[in-house]
Amino acid sequence: MAQDTPDFRLDGYKAVNDSVDEQFWQHIGIDEDQLTVLAKHHTSDGRHSYFVLHNGAVTWGIPGDAQLVALHLRRDTATRTFRFDHATLPLPAMAQSWLMARGCSEDKILLPEGLGGTPADDATRALEERLRGDGDHFALLTSYTNDDAPLQTTVLLRALDERVPLPFRVLLEEVDTDTWTRTLREGGFATFEAATTWWEAHWSGQDVPLPTTAPPARQGTRPVAAARVVSSEPPRRPGR
Spatial distance between the Cα atoms of 51 and 27, rounded to a whole number of angstroms:
14
Q: The domain containing residue 150 runs over which residues?
A: 117-235
93: phi then psi, degrees, rounded to nearest 5: -60, -35
Same domain, 108 and 124: no
Cβ 212 vs Cβ 238: under 8 Å: no
Helix (H) or strand (E) holding 152: strand 151-159
Q: Is 188 helix (H, G, I), strand (E, B) or coil?
A: strand
Same domain, 87 and 122: no
- How confident is the model at residue 27, as a pLDDT? 96
Spatial distance between the Cα atoms of 163 and 65, rounded to a whole number of angstroms:
31
Spatial distance between the Cα atoms of 87 and 99, rounded to a whole number of angstroms:
9
- How confident is the model at residue 228, as a pLDDT? 39
Same domain, 128 and 46: no
Spatial distance between the Cα atoms of 170 and 75, rounded to a whole number of angstroms:
37
- How confident is the model at residue 231, as a pLDDT? 38
Same domain, 106 and 121: no
End position of a domain, from candidates 82, 116, 150:
116
Blockwise average pLDDT, block size 10, the chain, 240 residues: 80 98 97 95 97 94 94 98 97 95 95 80 93 81 92 94 90 91 94 96 93 57 39 51
- How confident is the model at residue 4, as a pLDDT? 85
- How confident is the model at residue 53, as a pLDDT? 97
| Structural domain includes residue 147 | yes
Same domain, 50 and 74: yes
